[in-house]
């Protein structure tokens, strides 16, 4: 054990002392954060489209479209405020903000949020408007046909005086929309304008059929009072966000394991290849057993991976407490409430050790990264299978195919944490865990033999001969 811990300490410090290790800790969250926030940053930084509407229908479609765009923006502001209330103070605050908005608008909603979380209310900023409707050129409004108006619209857009010009022609149920835009690929307002004009056409068609505006507005406002209920809910009836969190946290645990394997096990693989090529492994084998070397390397890299994840987790938790304390409280309650933190931890630890030992054994046979790719290809393909099914496990944790795949040890540590929301039978939890531990022991035995044989081997990888030598070689 003393030699094992010394090897683990050496493996750990060899990476922790490098500048690249600390840069990677900062770089990956930064890249993920920028990638995740890129759409939001682009939306906030994008300037509203300067839109002009040329109405040649003679039926006041233009003013109706402009009014609808303003109303859509108001609804978007209301949704954003409710979302901010949910993340900052939980479902109760979200419901209070919604009720306040119904009678007092966004100002009342913001005041309601301030009662639950003043800092969140102060930080909240309304989403930027997608478009600003500007007066249309007089020449375009005086045009006799949409084609004539299009000549003017083309000039205005080409000269960058306007970003988009909507020309409305036709009548009643045969409205024609021509949208001139600077964006060649996908005009920003295209779908919104299609939907808006379509809704106005529907309203006016119903009005011509004798349906009053008041009746139509009342009909559009009809919404069923929907309650999502389940006997598995914490309350015994109504399903809350906290009831849905275990599946989401389980999915995050599965993806965390996948990331740990890709980073930690890859470090372990590179370490073994480097030490084999420099003959360091031969020196180590002369002073320590294969079990001590393999165990020390796996333990050292596991400590390294946990250090990285702990730093990231601490940073993420601080961000949650500051920007979404309601969600942070719910996640903590989910993890501690039913002991799920131990449930997830067991699958993370066993799953990581299983793949790490396999990677270390494979690395002992590789002279270079090219050799490693030859042997790791099948392992990486196996690892992609559970990732494909993990997102489906959130929606249908009891699906028969997921229950069957959970019994396959390489897939178990990924799928079982996600399936926890479906409350899988105890026999599945215990059975898959025992089978996974048995597989871990078998992989450790196989990897120990492979490590001993591979550390002293040279030349290209011969899979057939390699497997035969491992099976014949006694552990030692």
Average pLDDT over residues 203-227: 83
Average pLDDT over residues 366-379: 73
The structure tokens 């990331």 sit at: 259
Indicate whether 475 pLDDT > 50: no
The model carries a pTM of 0.68
Average pLDDT over residues 374-385: 80
Q: In what order do the strands lie in the sheet with 49-55?
A: 131-134, 49-55, 164-169, 176-181
Indicate whether 367 pLDDT > 80: no
Give the HSE-up count for residue 1: Cα atoms under 13 Å, Cβ half-sphere.
0
Please, is 312 exposed, middle or buried when counting C-beta atoms within 10 Å of its C-beta (0-12, 13-18, 19+)?
middle
Give CA–CA dist 396/183, Å, rounded.
41
Of 216, 250, 278, the domain-final residue: 216
Looking at the structure, tell me whether residues 119 and 154 fall in a common domain: yes
Q: Is residue 415 part of a domain?
A: yes
Average pLDDT over residues 413-431: 87
Contact residues for 309 (Cβ-Cβ < 8 A; gap 6+): 256, 260
Predicted confidence at residue 162, as pLDDT, reads 92
Model confidence band, residue 152 (pLDDT cutoffs 50, 70, 90): very high
Q: Is residue 18 part of a domain?
A: no
Looking at the structure, tell me whether residues 202 and 258 fall in a common domain: no
Looking at the structure, tell me whether residues 203 and 260 fall in a common domain: no
Q: Are 214 and 206 in contact (CB under 8 A)?
A: no
Give CA–CA dist 141/147, Å, rounded.
12
Give start and end residues of each alpha helix (H) in 131-239. 138-141, 146-158, 190-208, 213-220
Give CA–CA dist 126/129, Å, rounded.
9
Looking at the structure, tell me whether residues 208 and 253 fall in a common domain: no
Q: Poorest-confidence range of 86-90, 170-174, 417-421? A: 86-90
More confident residue, 202 or 272: 202
Q: Are 185 and 46 in contact (CB under 8 A)?
A: no
Whole-number Cα distances in Å, 74 to 77, 97, 218, 351: 5, 15, 19, 49
Domain count within the chain: 2
Q: pLDDT over 70 for what percent of the chain? A: 90
Predicted confidence at residue 52, as pLDDT, reads 94
Q: Is residue 222 part of a domain?
A: no
Average pLDDT over residues 357-377: 75
Q: Is residue 286 part of a domain?
A: yes
More confident residue, 426 or 39: 426
Element (H, E) at 394: helix 369-395
Model confidence band, residue 61 (pLDDT cutoffs 50, 70, 90): very high
Q: Is residue 457 part of a domain?
A: yes
Predicted confidence at residue 105, as pLDDT, reads 86
Looking at the structure, tell me whether residues 346 and 249 fall in a common domain: yes
Predicted confidence at residue 466, as pLDDT, reads 53
Give the strand pairing for 164-169 and 131-134.
unpaired
Element (H, E) at 52: strand 49-55
Looking at the structure, tell me whether residues 464 and 427 fall in a common domain: yes
Of 164, 181, 216, the domain-final residue: 216
Looking at the structure, tell me whether residues 200 and 261 fall in a common domain: no
Looking at the structure, tell me whether residues 418 and 459 fall in a common domain: yes
Looking at the structure, tell me whether residues 330 and 452 fall in a common domain: yes
Average pLDDT over residues 393-417: 90
Predicted confidence at residue 439, as pLDDT, reads 93
Q: Are 407 and 431 in contact (CB under 8 A)?
A: yes
Q: Are 265 and 359 in contact (CB under 8 A)?
A: yes
Q: Is residue 12 part of a domain?
A: no
Average pLDDT over residues 96-101: 90
Q: What does the block give as tokens for 90?
A: 């939980």
Give CA–CA dist 458/279, Å, rounded.
11
Predicted confidence at residue 121, as pLDDT, reads 86
Indicate whether 205 pLDDT > 80: yes
Q: Residue 178 in 3-state DSSP? A: strand
Indicate whether 437 pLDDT > 70: yes
CA 233-237-242 angle, to 5 degrees, is 35
Q: Are 363 and 278 in contact (CB under 8 A)?
A: no
The per-residue pLDDT for range 235-251, each reduced to its tens digit, is 777 777 777 888 888 88
Looking at the structure, tell me whether residues 265 and 373 fall in a common domain: yes
Q: Is residue 25 part of a domain?
A: no
Looking at the structure, tell me whether residues 197 and 283 fall in a common domain: no
Predicted confidence at residue 140, as pLDDT, reads 92
Indicate whether 456 pLDDT > 70: no
CA proximity to 456, closest of 241, 289, 279, 313: 279
Indicate whether 476 pLDDT > 50: no
Average pLDDT over residues 436-448: 88
Q: Poorest-confidence range of 213-227, 286-300, 342-356, 358-372? A: 358-372
Predicted confidence at residue 229, as pLDDT, reads 79
Q: Is residue 429 part of a domain?
A: yes
Predicted confidence at residue 268, as pLDDT, reads 78
CA proximity to 305, closest of 341, 335, 348, 276: 348
More confident residue, 84 or 52: 52
Average pLDDT over residues 121-141: 89
Neighbours of 394 (CB within 10 A): 17
Predicted confidence at residue 238, as pLDDT, reads 77
Looking at the structure, tell me whether residues 192 and 332 fall in a common domain: no
Q: What is the mean pLDDT of the chain?
A: 82
The per-residue pLDDT for range 322-351, each reduced to its tens digit, is 777 777 877 888 788 777 888 888 888 889
Predicted confidence at residue 211, as pLDDT, reads 87
CA proximity to 308, closest of 252, 356, 270, 259: 259
Model confidence band, residue 39 (pLDDT cutoffs 50, 70, 90): low
Domain that holds residue 71: 50-216
More confident residue, 365 or 64: 64
Q: Residue 56 in 3-state DSSP? A: coil
The per-residue pLDDT for range 296-318, each reduced to its tens digit, is 888 888 888 888 888 888 888 88
């Amino acid at each position: 054990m003393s030699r094992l811990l010394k090897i683990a300490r050496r493996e750990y410090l060899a990476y922790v002392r490098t500048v690249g290790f600390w840069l990677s800790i900062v770089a990956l969250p930064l890249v993920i954060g920028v990638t995740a926030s890129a759409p939001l940053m682009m939306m906030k930084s994008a300037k509203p489209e300067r839109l002009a509407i040329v109405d040649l229908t003679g039926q006041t479609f233009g003013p109706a479209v402009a009014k609808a765009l303003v109303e859509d923006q108001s609804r978007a502001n209301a949704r954003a405020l409710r979302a901010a209330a949910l993340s900052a103070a939980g479902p109760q605050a979200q419901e209070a903000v919604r009720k306040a908005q119904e009678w007092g608008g966004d100002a009342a909603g913001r005041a309601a949020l301030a009662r639950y979380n003043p800092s969140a209310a102060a930080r909240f900023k309304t989403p930027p408007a997608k478009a600003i409707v500007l007066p249309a050129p007089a020449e375009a409004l005086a045009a006799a046909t949409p084609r004539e108006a299009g000549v003017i619209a083309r000039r205005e857009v080409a000269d960058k005086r306007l970003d988009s010009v909507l020309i409305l022609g036709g009548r009643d149920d045969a409205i024609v929309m021509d949208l001139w835009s600077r964006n060649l690929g996908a005009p920003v307002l295209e779908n919104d304008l299609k939907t808006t004009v379509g809704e106005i056409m529907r309203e006016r068609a119903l009005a011509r059929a004798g349906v009053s505006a008041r009746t139509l507005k009342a009909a559009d406002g009809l919404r069923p009072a929907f309650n999502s209920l389940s006997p598995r809910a914490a309350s015994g009836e109504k399903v809350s966000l906290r009831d849905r969190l275990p599946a989401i946290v389980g999915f995050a645990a599965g993806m965390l394991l996948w990331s740990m394997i890709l980073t930690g096990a890859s470090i372990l693989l590179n370490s073994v290849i480097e030490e084999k090529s420099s003959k360091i492994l031969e020196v180590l084998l002369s002073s320590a057993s294969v079990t001590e070397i393999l165990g020390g390397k796996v333990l050292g890299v596991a400590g390294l991976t946990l250090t990285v994840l702990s730093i990231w987790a601490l940073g993420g938790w601080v961000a949650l407490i500051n920007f979404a304390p309601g969600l942070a409280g719910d996640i903590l309650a989910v993890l501690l409430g039913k002991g799920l933190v131990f449930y997830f931890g067991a699958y993370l630890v066993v799953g990581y050790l299983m793949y790490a030992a396999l990677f270390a054994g494979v690395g002992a046979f590789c002279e270079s990264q090219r050799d490693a790719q030859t042997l790791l290809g099948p392992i990486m393909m196996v690892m992609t299978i559970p990732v494909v099914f993990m997102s489906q496990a959130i929606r249908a944790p009891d699906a028969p195919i997921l229950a069957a795949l959970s019994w396959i040890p390489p897939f178990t540590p990924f799928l079982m944490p996600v399936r926890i929301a479906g409350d899988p039978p105890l026999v599945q939890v215990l059975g898959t865990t025992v089978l996974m531990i048995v597989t871990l022991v078998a992989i450790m035995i196989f990897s120990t033999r492979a490590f001993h044989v591979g550390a002293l081997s040279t030349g290209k990888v011969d899979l057939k001969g390699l497997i035969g030598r491992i099976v014949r070689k006694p552990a030692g």
